[in-house]
Structure formats: C-alpha cells, structure tokens
Amino acid sequence: MFVLPFLLLSFSWLASALMYKAADISSLALVEKAGIKYTDGGKVTPFETIIHNHGANTVRIRVWTTGDYNLQYGLALAKRVKAAGLTLVVDLHYSDTSLRRYTKDVVTSFSSQGTPIDILQVGNEINGGLLWPVGQISSKGINPVSQLLHSAINGAKAAGSPKILIHLANGWDWSGLNSFFGKVFIQGALTADQVDFIGVSFYPFYDSGATLAALKSSLTNLANTYKKPIVVAETDWPVTCTGAKLTEPSIAVSTSGQQTWVGDIKNVLTALPNGLGQERPNSPLEQYYKLVESGTLRGDDHQERIIGKLQRLHDDLLHYEPHNIAHTPASNSLISRLFTRQLGAAPVTAPTNAPKGLYLYGDVGTGKTMLMDLFYHTLPPHIKRKRRVHFHAFMIDVHKRVHAMKAKLGARGGDPIEPVARDLAQEAYVLCFDEFQVTDIADAMILRQLFEKLMNFGVVCVITSNRHPDELYKNGIQRQNYRRIPRTLSHVYYDPLTPENQAEFEKLFKAFASHDNEPITRNRKLHVWGREVAVPQSTPTVAKFGFLDLCGKPMSAADYIEITKTFGTIFVTDVPKMGLSQKDMAREYHFCSCYESKTKLFISSEVPIFQIFSSDPNAKGEDISDHMRSVMDDLGLSSDIIGASSMFTGDEELFAFARCCSRLVQMGSKEWAETAGVQ
C-alpha cells in the first residue's frame, strides 16, 4: 500500500499487516528548498529517516520528462531513499517520446548511480490512456495503449529488473477497472505476465461513489478476476476540509481520522483473496512447485534437491545483515588518500554469520540457469544490494574496474583488486552469475584474489557452471544424464541459401524493421571501449549482419554483448558450412550473448543450422567418437541431424560445440520465438 507523507503516524501501525508501507516524497526537496525542516523527537532529521524509523519501507518518486520533477531531480532524491534503506518506486509520467528508449534510459540512469528501481510505475492514472493523442482511448481505442505499455516495459526489462506496476484512478469503480484490464492484455502487445502489480488511487472527495464498501467490492473483483497483487498507490484524508463533501462522514476530519481512514483501507487490502492485498513473495521452493503445477516446468527429482538447497540459502539470507562497506574514493587527492586509510584494512576472513554460497554445475541444458534465476527473483524484498550477471559481462566489468583503479593508484602503485572487491561488495552482497568458466590465465589470477576478498567482505555467491570446480582449469568435461524438456522448433532458421529462402529472409527482416517506424540505417556505429563496431543494416531495435561481418574479423565478447544489448532482434545471413579451413571462424561463431540477453535470432545458412559444424553433413554418424556421441545424447539430437564432425578435436572444443548446439536448439524453440526480442 502506498500512502502520502502526512499519513506518517500510520506506518508503524500498518507494519505487521502490509508488505509495502509507502510515502510519495516527490516534492520533498522542493519543500526543503523553501526552508521547511522536519523533526523527530525534537531533533531535526531527514524526512526519509523519520518515515523509515516509524515503519515505512517504501518511497515513491515521480519523474517527469521536464519540469520540477525531471530525471536529475529524481536521481538525487533516489540516493537519499536508498541510503535510508527504503524500497524505491519510480512513477513515470510520459510525454511525446519513444517509450521503450526513454524507459530504458531512465532505468539505466537509476541503476548506473547505484540506486536501481525496485518497482516501476508505468504511467500515472492511465484510465484514459497515455501519450495523447496516440494512446487516447476515447478516440483510438485500447490497442495503442497496450502496444505503448508493452514497449515501455520491454525498455525497462532491457535495462534492469524492476517489478512493473500499472496504475489507474478510481479504485472503487469496478466497472472502470474491468473495462481497462479486460481489454488491455492483447496477444503480441501487453500481456498479463508483464505486470507484477495493479495499483489504484482512492480519494474520498472526487466522487460520491468512492466509499470503503465500494473499494472492497471493486478490489475483491479485481483480485478474483486478474489474480495480481494490488496496492492502493494513492490516497488522502484531510485534517481540514472546506468546500468538499467526504464519502465517509463518520470519520473525523483530523489526524486521528487519517489513521482511521488508512486503517480501514488496510483492512480492505488484507481481506483480499489469496493474500493479493499483501503481496508476500513466493520462496524459491514455492515458486518452483508453482511452475511445475502450471506445466511451465516438468518435475525433476535432481532439480528439486537443488532448489531445496537454494531454499535453505534463501532462509539464511532472511536474517543475514552484512557489514556496511564504504565506497573507495573516486579521486586520488590527498583528502581521498587520507579517507582511504580511514577505511581500514580489508578483512582477512569471511564473517562468521555469512551464509555459505552455492556452486551449481552440470551439463548444458540441465536447468542450472533457470534454478539460479528462480532463486534470484525470489530473494527477500529487503535485499536491495544484489546482482545477477553473466560471466563474460562480469569479467569485462572487472577488467574495466581494475584498469581504472591502476590508473588511479598511479606511480605509487598498490593492489587494485582489494578496492575493486570493496566496491563490488558495496553494490551487492548477494551475487549470482551464470556460465562460470576460466580459460584465460589472466582471468584465473584475478578471480582467485577477487572471490577471496569478496567473501571476506561478506558477499554470498550463487554460481552456475558446466564444470566441476576441480576441472575449471582442465580440459576435462563432466557428463551426467539429465532429462531434457522437448522443444518445438519455430521457423527462425532458413536453409539452403536458395533465392527463394533469401527473398523470404529479407522480407522477414524488413517486416521486423518496419515496427520501429524509422528507415533502415546502413553502417550504424556502435562504440565499444573506444572502438567502433559497424552494423551493416539496422533500426533502433533490429539489426542484420552477414556472417563475415561477425565472424570474419576480430571481435571480442564486449562487441557481442554491446550488439545484443542494443538490438532485441538480430538477423545473420549467409552462414557457411564450416570445415577445418574455417575452424577459427567456427570458434568465433558466438551465441552466448544472444542467448543470455534473450535476443530473437534469425539465421540463413548453407546447410541446416545443426550441420554447419559438420565435416560431412551427409554422414550418418559412423565416424563420430564415443565422446561426441555422448554430447549428442545429452542434447537430445541424433547424429543423423548433426552429421559427422571431426573438426573439434579436444574436450574444450567439444564442450563449446555442445553449448552452441544447446543454445541453437533453445533459440529455435516456439517458446523462445514468442517471448524473446525486445521490440
């Protein structure tokens, strides 16, 4: 439940009943600028500290595209909110701009300064639509609104992982709420699973129908029909009132009346079916069983044992309070160096109260990433310092930080790993990262020191890898038999390279590109670490490359990550069958970034996609080694589909081949085609 600042006295009274006890403090800095101060127990205290001390746990900030509540104003206020240990809700008021790009930029801005948005309110009281006249329901209908919300939410998810709230006025009016939500969820646009919360406003003086009884009836219908957690995002009760008729005359117009009013709303919320007025998050085990029950996952005894271990870690984290860690000073001035000394020596052992992390290893396609993500997304709401990242992106970030720290330390030298670990630990004390692998000696040397120092700072890690810890530095590969969920392939791979297929592929590219309503740009430049990466053809969200553009020239993991971060849909043309003479190109044929970023991928190739690495695509498997056959069995693919391949000779190459095939299978599935690709 979100309430306004002057309902402060009600927070502690609500604490045991509601998940979110909030205040909108958007005007706080403006009020303070006018000379207003706040006191608690006679002592001048920051307002956000006062409400936190009295039971509030959440703050909402409105962000306008311009004016008093602009982005910079909101960013400054967010630093105070996070410093006070409060959950951050950002209420975006849209203007005539690109929703996806604008939303992505806003979410990125908050995350970049270390104040990630926890809940994003996409629009404010949007009963009549948003971005008029394009999204004006009275003249354009509901479809444009659905498309606009879909675009905005995709922008948010491309930049972070905030929960999404859709906010309407007149929470007491079931007819109005049902008219909106009954039409706004449309196949191919906004879907119900994109929305985490429904928020409503409830004021007692704008309409005679806004009674508590009407609110209870309306929200009960809302919960039963749409089965989403519900919050009262705005409300008010006056301490003085002239010229307005209140809908609940029995409640006093006073501060005690405010408490009565909020208490009555609390009673409405807590009485909603299935706890939807309180929004208690599922635990990892509960969420796993929910997914199995819905048919999204297939029950697996081994996965259930792993999720049980993740559940125990989740429970341990409920009561874990890591030590506060100060950021390393940004400059190298004398004052900064003095401050650095005041930080004290880094701890040499892990805190005794720190829960032990988990290392999940197994073969490709066994659900490790899914289980880790399930754990991450069900972390207790009070854990704000958390991070989920892929190994490649993590190591790029670490190398950049180490490089910057070495430059900062200058000629006087010093260990760059300790301050980097300190900053990483300050940003996140729960670290989940995927696809852990060590093939570079420089990475190995950094990681050994880095992880030791992170754990000493109290960081808890959950890691997935395809390798047993003892084999991270070896070429050996562990093989176990796991069930795989069959996937139905969608038409995203085109072969052979006939004129008909090439024409169909080009037609498909132009159809996707047309969604951006912008002309196709040739040779768009992406900037990666001071270098330029040319994109042959693109719109803001769709790109097309020839195979040689991606694999026929030197490219780094950072280049691929930047490409998939920029474009939600990627077309790759003219992929050849690769033999020994193109072995280096085969190594460059890199899909991890597309897979990790949930990119929609289309490929045209000389031979069926699973045979591009075959030395003889017509072979029936006679020349396949036992080891390669084991790879095929694990992938659920027959040698008739893959063909014979002798071009990969070592376990490391076989492992890369297996991972690539596994990714291609999943990225060709119907589920992937329907859900991937931020537009």
For the segment 89-102, the average pLDDT, to the nearest whole number, is: 88
Q: Which of 125, 452, 606, 653 is catalytic?
A: 125
Among 220-229, 315-324, 441-450, where is mean pLDDT lowest?
441-450
For the segment 330-351, the average pLDDT, to the nearest whole number, is: 59
Asked whether the beta carbons of 381 and 367 are under 8 A apart, the reply is no
Gap between the Cα atoms of 260 and 535, Å rounded: 61
Tokens of residue 288, six digits: 């796993």
| 165 or 507: which leads in pLDDT | 165
Quote the pLDDT of residue 211. 97
For domain 294-471, the CATH class is: alpha beta
Asked whether the beta carbons of 185 and 191 are under 8 A apart, the reply is yes
SS (H, E, C) 389-421: EEHHHHHHHHHHHHHHHHHHHHHHCCCCHHHHH
Q: Is 234 a catalytic residue?
A: yes
Cis status, amide bond into 496, omega within 30 of 0 = yes
Asked whether the beta carbons of 360 and 464 are under 8 A apart, the reply is yes
Quote the pLDDT of residue 611. 72
Using DSSP bridges, classify how beta strands 460-465 and 358-361 pair: parallel, antiparallel or unpaired: parallel
Using DSSP bridges, classify how beta strands 43-44 and 39-40 pair: parallel, antiparallel or unpaired: antiparallel
Give 359-376 pLDDT, tens digit per residue.
998 887 788 888 998 999
Asked whether the beta carbons of 386 and 377 are under 8 A apart, the reply is no
Q: Which of 48, 60, 467, 524 is catalytic?
A: 60
User: Percent of the chain at pLDDT above 90?
Assistant: 41
Residue range(s) in the chain whose domain bears CATH number 3.20.20.80: 2-280
Asked whether the beta carbons of 93 and 65 are under 8 A apart, the reply is yes
Most confident stretch, 48-57, 209-218, 281-290, 440-449: 209-218
Q: Which of 48, 234, 279, 596 is catalytic?
A: 234
Asked whether the beta carbons of 270 and 17 are under 8 A apart, the reply is yes
CA dihedral 658, 663, 668, 670 (to 10 degrees): 120
pLDDT tier, 444 (very low <50, low <70, confident <90, very high otherwise): low
Burial label, 390 (beta-carbon count in 10 A; 0-12, 13-18, 19+): buried
Quote the pLDDT of residue 588. 45
Asked whether the beta carbons of 369 and 306 are under 8 A apart, the reply is no
Among 129-133, 310-314, 342-346, where is mean pLDDT lowest?
342-346
HSE, side-chain direction, 13 A CA sphere, residue 316: 17
Q: At what angle do helices 441-456 and 391-409 cross, to 10 degrees?
A: 80
CA 83 centroid distance within chain: 22
Give 134-182 pLDDT, tens digit per residue.
999 999 999 999 999 999 999 999 998 899 999 999 999 999 999 999 9
- Nearest-CA neighbor of 665 among 608, 622, 625? 608
Gap between the Cα atoms of 52 and 191, Å rounded: 35
- Nearest-CA neighbor of 11 among 117, 86, 111? 86
Q: How many residues does the chain have?
A: 679
Gap between the Cα atoms of 579 and 538, Å rounded: 30
Is the pLDDT at 511 greater than 90? The verdict is: no
Gap between the Cα atoms of 363 and 531, Å rounded: 36
Is the pLDDT at 656 greater than 80? The verdict is: no
Among 174-178, 408-412, 419-423, 441-445, where is mean pLDDT lowest?
441-445
Mean pLDDT of the chain: 81
Gap between the Cα atoms of 306 and 94, Å rounded: 43
The strand ranges marked E within 219-325 are 230-235
Give 612-637 pLDDT, tens digit per residue.
666 544 544 445 555 555 544 544 44
- Nearest-CA neighbor of 633 among 480, 490, 489? 480
For the segment 559-571, the average pLDDT, to the nearest whole number, is: 89
Fold classification of 2-280 (topology level): TIM Barrel (3.20.20)
Asked whether the beta carbons of 457 and 326 are under 8 A apart, the reply is no
For the segment 259-279, the average pLDDT, to the nearest whole number, is: 87
Gap between the Cα atoms of 242 and 36, Å rounded: 25
Q: Tally Cβ neighbours within 10 Å of residue 481.
A: 11
b/e map 95-125, b = 16+ CB within 10 Å: eeebbbebbbebbbbbeeebbbbbbbbbbbb
For Cα atoms 243, 249, 254, give the angle at the middle one, nearest 5 degrees. 75
Q: What is the C-alpha end-to-end distance of the chain, expressed in Å?
A: 32
For the segment 96-121, the average pLDDT, to the nearest whole number, is: 91
Quote the pLDDT of residue 274. 76
pLDDT tier, 293 (very low <50, low <70, confident <90, very high otherwise): confident
Using the Cα atoms of residue 381, residue 384, residue 385 and residue 388 in order, give the sign of their dihedral. Answer: positive
Tokens of residue 254, six digits: 């006073």
Quote the pLDDT of residue 8. 36
Tokens of residue 208, six digits: 């005679």
Query: Which whole-number Å values give the CA distances from 319 to 15, 285, 316, 380, in the listed order?
Result: 18, 18, 6, 10
Quote the pLDDT of residue 590. 55
Backbone angles phi, psi at 524, to 5 degrees: -60, 140
Residue range(s) in the chain whose domain bears CATH number 3.40.50.300: 294-471
- Nearest-CA neighbor of 656 among 587, 555, 598, 597? 587
Is the pLDDT at 433 greater than 50? The verdict is: yes
Burial label, 367 (beta-carbon count in 10 A; 0-12, 13-18, 19+): buried
Most confident stretch, 69-83, 242-256, 284-298: 69-83
Gap between the Cα atoms of 87 and 116, Å rounded: 10
Gap between the Cα atoms of 468 and 22, Å rounded: 45
Burial label, 192 (beta-carbon count in 10 A; 0-12, 13-18, 19+): exposed
| Residues facing residue 569 across a β-bridge | 542, 600
Asked whether the beta carbons of 485 and 455 are under 8 A apart, the reply is no
Burial label, 397 (beta-carbon count in 10 A; 0-12, 13-18, 19+): middle
